[in-house]
Structure 1
Amino acid sequence: MCQSISDKDMAKKYLQIVDPIHDFITVYPHELQLIDSPVFQRLRRIRQLAGAHLVYPGAQHSRFEHSLGTMHIAGQAANVLKDKGYLDANDSENIRMAALLHDIGHGPFSHLFEEVLQKKKKNSHEDIGKKLILESEIGDIIKKSGFDKVFLGNLAFGNSKYQFMNEIISGGLSADMMDYLLRDGYFTGAEHAKVDFMRIIHSLDVHDKKLSLDKSALLSFESMMISRYQMFKAVYFHKTVRSAEVMLIQSMVLADSELDLTTDDIKKYVQMTDEFVISKLVSLEPKNEELRRARQLAVEYQERKLLKCVYEKIFTRPRMGKVNVKDLQDEIAKRSKIDKCEVFIDISKTPSIPLAPSKKESQSIILTTKKGEGPKESYELPISEIPLVSAISGFMDILRVYTRQQFRKKVEIAANVILGENSQ
C-alpha cells in the first residue's frame, strides 16, 4: 500500500508493511531498494532462531522481518533524539539504514554459522556484513541513494565515531535487542519476553556522547534485562534446541572442506541459506568417514532424531574454567567405552547483560533526571546497584554432554564420574 506524506512541502512516498510486532513498518524508497536486492532478500530464507523450531514449532520467523523491525525501532529512537536536538534528519536516515543492514552478513542458520566461522576462519557475520556493504550491490545502492557506504558499514556494526548512535543499534538499550526479544517471544510463544520498548525509547537521552535513559524508565530497563536472561535460559540455550544446533554445527564443520561453506567468495556466500545448506548436507556422498557422519547428522536433524543431553551444568559465579573439549570428549568416550565421535560436548556462553558496541561487558547505565525547572542531571549507575539486574549480571556459561539414545546411560555415568554431580 503506497501513500504520500508531506515533508516541508515535498511529497515523499513510502510503503507500509504489516507486521505482527509493530503493526505497521514504514519503508522509504531508498530503503526499499536495499530490501528488494537479492542479497537482502536472502534473509527471508535464514531463520532467526536456527533449530529452535524443532522445539517451538512457531519459530519460523527469519532475519528478514527482524531486520525490518530493528530499523523501525531504531528510527523511532532516532526521532526521539532528533526532537531533543541530538540528531538531524540525515542522522535519522543513516541510523535506519544501518539498523536495516545490521544482520546482512548472517550465514545459514544465523548464529550457528557464526560458531562454524569461529572454528574455521575466526571471523564473524559482522566482518562479512561489512564486506557486503562495501563490495556488493548493497554498497552500489547506498551510493546511488546519496549515502556513505563506509560510514554506514561502521555504524551498522558499532564502529562509528558517534558512540550513542552505535548504541541505538547494538548494546544494552539497542533496537536490535528490543525487536528480537519481542519477536522471538511472539513466535516461540514464550511468555518471558515482555519489553515496554516504547517507554524505553521515549526516555532515551544523550550524556557525554553516550546513550542515557531517563531515571523514570529504570524499571522498564530492569524488566528487559530479566526478559533477555529468561529467554536465553528458556529458548536460546534450551537443551533440546542446542541438541539440534550441535548436530548442525558438527555436520557443517565436517562437510566444510567438501562444500566450502566458509568461503571467502561473497558471491558464493550469499547463495547459502538454511534450505540450500541442509539439502547439500543430506545429499553428501559418503566418500569418507567425515562426510558419512556429516550426512548422518544432517539427516537425523531433518528427521528430528536428536541427540540426548546426559549432563548439564550451569555456571554464573564463578565462571566456567577453561575446558579442553577434545580431551574431555576423549576421556568420556574412553570411560564409557564408545567411539569418541558419539560424544558431543557443547559449551554455550553469553554475558547476562548485553555487551556494549565495543564488545566489552557493560558495567553501568547512564541515567538522566530532571527536578523542577532546573537543568537535566546525568549520572552513571553501576549495574551492581540495580538489585534485580545485579543478581543476574556476569555470564551464563553452560556445559552439556550429548550422545545418541543408544549410548545414553553409558555416557551419563561416565560424564558424572569425570565432571562431578549432574545438575540438570
Structure 2
Amino acid sequence: MTVLDIIDPIHDFIRVYETELKIIDSPIFQRLRRIRQLSGAHLTYPSAQHSRFEHSLGVMHVAGQAASALKENGFLDSDQVADIRLAALLHDIGHGPFSHLFEEVLQEKKKISHEDLGRRLILDSEIGDILSKSGFNKKLIVKLAFGDPRYRFVNEIISGSLSADMMDYLQRDGYFTGAEHAKIDHKRIIQSLDVYKSRLALDRSALYSFESMILSRYQMFKAVYFHKTVRSAEVMMLEAIRLADKSVGFTSLDLDEYVKLTDEFVVSKILSLPENNENLRRAKKLAQDYQNRRLFKCVFERIMTQKDLKSKEPLRDKIANKSKINKNDVFVDTSTTSSLPLTPSKEKTKSITLIAKDSGKSIAKEIPFSKIPVVASMAESMNILRVYTTAQYRKKVEIAANSILGGQK
C-alpha cells in the first residue's frame, strides 16, 4: 500500500494513504490549490496565500487524529476511521473561486451552497469513481462530509464546535496572516473527545481548551475575516462577479465548467470581457482595481442588529441621493455570522456535553453555553454594517452615511 508523508507548517507531517493520494492527485482536487483559503485577505495580509488544498489536507489529518482517539475508546473501527479521513479530505471539494465569497453569489442566484456542489462532485465525477474502485461507498462519504442525522457525532468531527475544520483553519489562517489570536491546544481537545447519546462530547478537564478555541475564532473574525480592508476587496469582487455573471455564466452550475473556476481564472475572464455595456465596463474596472489593490474606502462602520441589516438596498439609495452621486459608487456591506460555530445541519450550537470521571464512572452533563461565561459573552451573532465608496467620493459618502446612520442605534 502506498503511503506518503507531506511536510506541513501547521501539523509537521501529514500522512496520506493510497486512496487519499489518488483523490489528491486528481485534477478536481488539484484545482483547490488555485482557490485561496481567505479569498482577498492577501491584499491586507500579504502572506495569506494559502489555499483550500492544504487546508483540506489539514482537516483530513486532524479528523484522522480525532477518529483514532475515539477508536481507542471503542466508538469507531478502522474502516470508519478511513471513511472519516476521506470525508474530511473532501469536505471543501465543492468550493468555488474566492471560497465563501463566491458562495454569496451562488446563494443569491441559485440558492445552493458549496456543500451541494460538493455532493455532486463526489457522486458524479472521477472523485466518486476513485472511491468506488477503491472499495469505498461514495454515498456514505457524502453523508459523513456534509451532514446526515444518522451519523451525527461523525459529522461533528468534521464540522461544528469541536471540528477538525475549525482546528485546522484557525491555526493555518493565524499562521499565514501573522495574527496572534489563533493559538489553540487542538491536541488536548482531540485526546479529550468522547461520545454521548450520538453527540460528540468533551472531557470536562479540557473545557478551558475549548473556551480558548471559541475565543480565538471570535477574535479571528474581528481581526481577519471581517477586517474592513479584507472585506473591501471581497465587496469589489462580489460586485464584479455579479455584473459579469449574465455574460460569462459563472453560476451556470455545469460541473465541467464549474471545476474550471479558480481565483485567477475568474479575474482574467472578467478582464477579457468586451466593454459593450455598462455592467461589463463596471465589472472590468472593479477586477482591474482589485488586481492592482485600488480598494474601496470604508467611510462608515457600525455593529448593527439583525433587523437593521435587512434594509441594505434602500440604504444604498438613500446614501447615494444624499451624496448626490451615482448609486453604483456606493456599496453597503453587511458582514454577519454566528459568533459560535454552527452544527453540521447549519443550526446554532447551544450547548456542549461534558464528561466527568468519578470513581471510575463517566458522568455526562449537557451544559448550555449560557452557563459558560467566556462562551456566553459571545453567544450573539456578529453583525457589522459598513459603507464603502471609491477614493474620489470618500468625503461626500462619509458625510451622507453619518448623517443617515449616525443617530441610529
Where on the TM-score scale, by shorter chain, does this alignment land: which range?
A: over 0.9
Contact 1:311 1:422 in 2 (8 A): no
Match of 2:173 in 1: 184
Partners in 2 of 1:339 and 1:101 — Cα distance?
Answer: 44
Map residues 156-305 of structure 1 onto 2, 5 A cutoff.
156-159=145-148, 161-305=150-294
Match of 2:81 in 1: 92
Match of 2:336 in 1: 349
Partners in 2 of 1:91 and 1:22 — Cα distance?
Answer: 22
Map residues 15-414 of structure 1 onto 2, 5 A cutoff.
15-159=4-148, 161-315=150-304, 319-373=306-360, 375-414=361-400
Q: What is the letter of the counterpart of residue 420 of structure 1?
A: G
Q: What is the letter of the counterpart of residue 50 of structure 1?
A: S
Q: Which runs of 5+ in 1 are unaligned?
A: 1-11
Partners in 1 of 2:279 and 2:312 — Cα distance?
Answer: 19
Structure 1 residue 422: Cα displacement: 8.8
Match of 1:3 in 2: none
Partners in 2 of 1:276 and 1:235 — Cα distance?
Answer: 25
How many residues were matched structurally? 409
Contact 1:320 1:397 in 2 (8 A): no
Q: Deviations over 1:58-78 (max 9, x none)?
A: 000000000000000000000
| 1:105 match: secondary structure | coil
Match of 1:419 in 2: 405
| 1:284 match: secondary structure | coil
Partners in 2 of 1:279 and 1:288 — Cα distance?
Answer: 18
Q: Deviations over 1:154-189 (max 9, x none)?
A: 111122511000000000000000000000000000
Structure 1 residue 342: Cα displacement: 0.2
Structure 1 residue 359: Cα displacement: 0.8
Structure 1 residue 321: Cα displacement: 2.9
| 1:310 match: secondary structure | strand
Q: What is the letter of the counterpart of residue 210 of structure 2?
A: F
Q: Deviations over 1:368-391 (max 9, x none)?
A: 010132x10101001011111111
After superposition, the CA RMSD in angstroms is 1.1
Contact 1:151 1:160 in 2 (8 A): no
Q: Deviations over 1:267-317 (max 9, x none)?
A: 0000111111111111211110000000000000000000000010113xx
Q: What is the letter of the counterpart of residue 364 of structure 1?
A: S
Structure 1 residue 394: Cα displacement: 1.4
Structure 1 residue 13: Cα displacement: 3.4
Q: Which runs of 5+ in 2 are unaligned?
A: none
Partners in 2 of 1:71 and 1:157 — Cα distance?
Answer: 14
Q: What is the letter of the counterpart of residue 361 of structure 1?
A: K
Partners in 2 of 1:121 and 1:324 — Cα distance?
Answer: 22
Structure 1 residue 322: Cα displacement: 4.6
TM-score (norm 2): 0.98
Q: What is the letter of the counterpart of residue 249 of structure 1?
A: L
Equivalent pairs: percent with the same residue? 63
Contact 1:313 1:422 in 2 (8 A): no
Contact 1:51 1:244 in 2 (8 A): yes
Q: What is the letter of the counterpart of residue 237 of structure 1?
A: F
